[in-house]
Chains A and B, each alone.
Chain A
Amino acid sequence: MSGAAGRGAPARPALPAPRPAAPRHDDGGGPATIHGAVARQARLRPGAVALIAGAERIGYAELDAAAEDWAAELRARGAGPGVFVPLLLPRSAELVTAALAVLKTGAAYAALDPAWPAGRLTTLAAALSPVVTVAAAPPEGWPGTLWTPPPPYGRPRGAAGGGAAAAPGAGSPDEARDMPRPDGPDGPDRARGLSGGAGDAPAAVFFTSGTTGRPKAVVSGHRATLSLFGGDGGPLAGGGGHGRTADGGGPLGGGDAVGGPPVMPLASPVSWDAFTLEVWGPLLAGGACVLTGGGYLLPGTLRALVAEHGVDTVWLTASLFHLLTDEDPDCFTGLRQVLTGGETLSPPRVRAFLTRHPDIALTNGYGPVETCVFATARRVRPGDCDLPSGIPVGAALPGRAVHVLDAEGRAAGPGAVGEVCVSGDGVALGYLGEPELTARQFPVIEVAGGPARVYRTGDLGFLDEAGVLHFAGRADRQVKVRGHRVEPAEVETAARALPGVADCAAAPVPGAGGGFERLALFYTTAPGAETPEPRGVRRALAGMLPRHLVPDLVHRRTALPLTANGKLDRAALLRSLRPGDGGEGDV
């Protein structure tokens, strides 16, 4: 995480030269896969705690061995290179073990939220064409084989190939077990051109809102995650003798503080790419991941995590960060670092936090899921709260570069707003099953230093004289609502499909502090047809869409207002909301 140097750091050059699109070779000696890096930690510190789940403490060697056993089960059921394995599990030690096991087979995992409506889950399953799914109780008619992980964690490890890692220094043949990197899909060609082109196999799939009414499946490779945490896949911050540098080894740099590897809770929805940060962040550094179980991250939860499990690092989407600073600002006490972002940060809340907690590193991270958690990060300082453009989103992280392009595709000068494009190791392999969309959103373009494969974020921003990125809005209708990415068109497509709905418009409702906490839907009904009530529309959508896409406010209108140009007048729709519906008075 750059920017953490604070005092007296030399001015950074405007941009590091981005890497060309040609395949890179890996740094000498470092693991090339996520599971290889975790296995390395299991060799270095087999008895160290990797997972904390309630009263259970699961060590690195134990975790790695269990994942080996589970990998054998999954291989026997068809998991391997080119395959995508859905995980339908709540936040738990089983979920983390299953993800690691899937990686060990050479397949990629897709963590799905078991709370999503059955219809939604089934749609996602179709996109993944699963041969095997790790689940306790999937919806009816789920395709492929099901495998339920054995209860409870810590069963005797007698299975073949399993127990070698029990004793410290017992050379477990993890190198041999490291799946060979495919040059192309060896198994069924489900990866459809997304695997192994540069020796980088798919590791994870994340679903995100799409404009067509179908979600997009983002395929992220191993290298994206490994590079986020320090390049060689090894310790990030403080663990194993690698101290945190002023530049940080990645987003978990924590500034000037030197300490052990991070202890983080897995507290975000399992389908978010925050999973990468909250699980692999600690595990690649020899730290610990705390499984909080179900539920929201409340102030009391955070206090208990700090007091009982030594949690020192947490990720919170900006909405939740704002809520906690409003409701119980002391709940952060004991943390070393708070990572936040994903939405616009509220300067007054940030200022209040920095004043109350001068010893906690506050990091603002920016990056769509297509760039693997973060493309840039900013160690926030009090002066950031006074900037007219808001809290900066920071400088590019190691292995990543950002480019702001004008309408002609050329680099915009300092201060000039353009489209934010991201290149480097974090860029996703593409969208599953969408070759044309992938080609459009991940073009190879000419930047200083040569051609580079970039992700076109659709975000608007500008780079300042120091090369620090500032967010300046969107070019399209995509928004973040409570931290969730929402394409209003996806909501509209679903609503238009309901019987009796003639037309509709979805609009995010601005809240205090610059973000959006809720989504409004306005709809008209076909004359003479049944006239669905708002309550019924909302219920129907709740049965089809994940919670964050279900509009919080649903209003029927006789007609949708148009501007003088004949375009839909969303501003007028928002103005028509009663105060207290979430207009100006919204908190």
Chain B
Amino acid sequence: MASPQANSESTRPAGPDGGVPEIVLSAVAEVTGDGPHRLSDDFYELGCTSLDAIRVCLRVSREVGVEIAPETLLDSADLAGFATLVAAARDAR
């Protein structure tokens, strides 16, 4: 997994993960109106709800061009795990 150093990045670095962690962090920050968050953050510990998961996944889906179900985020242990699944879904497209 890429290092989570991109908290203040607004552009996507070209790395093996194709910027997915940044997309995820950016989407979560936008939905929570807060941040910066870390990939090690637990979605629930950020106080997020199922509706937030829908909002995050709509944004992530738009960015990666593949539909990501909210359950994927709700069932992930943390944002890093979610980012891994998103990257895999995009690569499988």
In angstroms, how far is the closest chain B Cβ from the Cβ of A495?
16
Please indicate the chain B residues that have their CB under 8 angstroms from the CB of A553 in the complex. Answer: 47
Which residue in B47, B50, B51, B58 is a CB contact (below 8 Å) of A581? B47
Which residue in B32, B45, B50, B58 is a CB contact (below 8 Å) of A547? B50
At the interface with chain B, which of A6-14, A75-83, A295-303?
A295-303
At the interface with chain A, which of B2-10, B17-25, B64-72, B85-93?
B64-72
- 0 or 1 for each of B27-48: is its CB under 8 Å from A? (1 = yes): 0000111100000001011011
Q: Write the chain A residue with the least CB distance to B34.
A: A580
Please indicate the chain B residues that have their CB under 8 angstroms from the CB of A327 in the complex. Answer: 54-55, 58
Inter-subunit contact A587/B31 (CB<8 Å):
yes
Inter-subunit contact B47/A582 (CB<8 Å):
yes
Which residue in B32, B44, B45, B55 is a CB contact (below 8 Å) of A323? B55
Inter-subunit contact B49/A552 (CB<8 Å):
yes
Inter-subunit contact B33/A323 (CB<8 Å):
no
**Given known contacts A585-B33, A587-B31, A298 and B54 CB-to-CB distance under 8 angstroms:** yes
Give chain B's interface secondary structure class. helix
A327 to B33 alpha-carbon distance, docked (Å): 15
- 0 or 1 for each of A245-264: is its CB under 8 Å from B? (1 = yes): 00000000000000000000
In angstroms, how far is the closest chain A Cβ from the Cβ of B21?
21
Q: Write the chain B residue with the least CB distance to A518.
A: B49
Please indicate the chain B residues that have their CB under 8 angstroms from the CB of A579 in the complex. Answer: 34
Please indicate the chain B residues that have their CB under 8 angstroms from the CB of A534 in the complex. Answer: 45
Inter-subunit contact B54/A482 (CB<8 Å):
no
Inter-subunit contact B47/A552 (CB<8 Å):
yes
Please indicate the chain A residues that have their CB under 8 angstroms from the CB of B44 in the complex. Answer: 538, 552
Please indicate the chain A residues that have their CB under 8 angstroms from the CB of B47 in the complex. Answer: 518, 552-553, 581-582
A320 to B54 alpha-carbon distance, docked (Å): 10
In angstroms, how far is the closest chain B Cβ from the Cβ of A95?
19
Inter-subunit contact A323/B54 (CB<8 Å):
yes
Chain B: how many interface residues by the 8 Å CB criterion? 19
Name, among B32, B51, B55, the residue most crowded by chain A CB atoms within 10 Å (CB to CB).
B51
How many A-B contacts at CB < 8 Å in the complex?
Answer: 52
**Given known contacts A295-B71, A298-B58, A327-B58, A482 and B51 CB-to-CB distance under 8 angstroms:** yes
Q: Which of A561-587 contact B (CB under 8 A)?
A: 579-582, 585-587
Q: Write the chain A residue with the least CB distance to B52.
A: A517
Which residue in B51, B58, B69 is a CB contact (below 8 Å) of A517? B51
Please indicate the chain B residues that have their CB under 8 angstroms from the CB of A518 in the complex. Answer: 47, 49
Inter-subunit contact B48/A552 (CB<8 Å):
yes
Q: Write the chain B residue with the least CB distance to A587.
A: B33
- 0 or 1 for each of A312-330: is its CB under 8 Å from B? (1 = yes): 0000000110010001100
- Interface check A155, CB cutoff 8 A: no
Please indicate the chain A residues that have their CB under 8 angstroms from the CB of B31 in the complex. Answer: 587
Q: Write the chain B residue with the least CB distance to A578.
A: B34
Q: Write the chain B residue with the least CB distance to A547.
A: B50
- Interface check A535, CB cutoff 8 A: yes
A319 to B67 alpha-carbon distance, docked (Å): 22
In angstroms, how far is the closest chain B Cβ from the Cβ of A497?
21
A93 to B5 alpha-carbon distance, docked (Å): 48
Inter-subunit contact A300/B67 (CB<8 Å):
yes
- 0 or 1 for each of A525-553: is its CB under 8 Å from B? (1 = yes): 00000000011001000000001000011
A215 to B1 alpha-carbon distance, docked (Å): 44
- 0 or 1 for each of A279-298: is its CB under 8 Å from B? (1 = yes): 00000000000000011101
A80 to B73 alpha-carbon distance, docked (Å): 43
A581 to B67 alpha-carbon distance, docked (Å): 28
Inter-subunit contact B58/A580 (CB<8 Å):
no
A328 to B55 alpha-carbon distance, docked (Å): 11
Please indicate the chain A residues that have their CB under 8 angstroms from the CB of B70 in the complex. Answer: 295-296, 298
In angstroms, how far is the closest chain A Cβ from the Cβ of B75?
11
Q: Write the chain A residue with the least CB distance to B74.
A: A547
In angstroms, how far is the closest chain A Cβ from the Cβ of B10?
19
Please indicate the chain B residues that have their CB under 8 angstroms from the CB of A517 in the complex. Answer: 49, 51
Inter-subunit contact A299/B58 (CB<8 Å):
yes
Inter-subunit contact A296/B58 (CB<8 Å):
no
Inter-subunit contact A320/B55 (CB<8 Å):
no
Please indicate the chain B residues that have their CB under 8 angstroms from the CB of A535 in the complex. Answer: 42, 45
A534 to B48 alpha-carbon distance, docked (Å): 15
Inter-subunit contact A580/B67 (CB<8 Å):
no
In angstroms, how far is the closest chain B Cβ from the Cβ of A437?
30
A320 to B32 alpha-carbon distance, docked (Å): 17
Please indicate the chain A residues that have their CB under 8 angstroms from the CB of B54 in the complex. Answer: 296, 298, 323, 327
Inter-subunit contact B58/A328 (CB<8 Å):
yes
Inter-subunit contact B51/A580 (CB<8 Å):
no
Please indicate the chain B residues that have their CB under 8 angstroms from the CB of A320 in the complex. Answer: 51
Name, among A294, A300, A535, A552, the residue most crowded by chain B CB atoms within 10 Å (CB to CB).
A552
Task: Beyond A295-B69, A327-B58, A585-B34, list 7 extra A-B contacts (CB 8 Å).
Answer: A296-B69, A323-B51, A327-B54, A327-B55, A518-B49, A552-B47, A552-B48
In the A-B complex, list the 7 residue pairs whose CB atoms are closest, starting with the nearest: A580-B34, A553-B47, A552-B47, A585-B33, A552-B49, A296-B70, A518-B49
Q: List 19 A-B contacts (CB under 8 A).
A: A294-B71, A295-B70, A295-B71, A296-B54, A296-B69, A296-B71, A299-B58, A323-B55, A327-B54, A327-B55, A482-B49, A517-B51, A518-B49, A538-B44, A538-B45, A552-B47, A552-B48, A553-B47, A585-B34
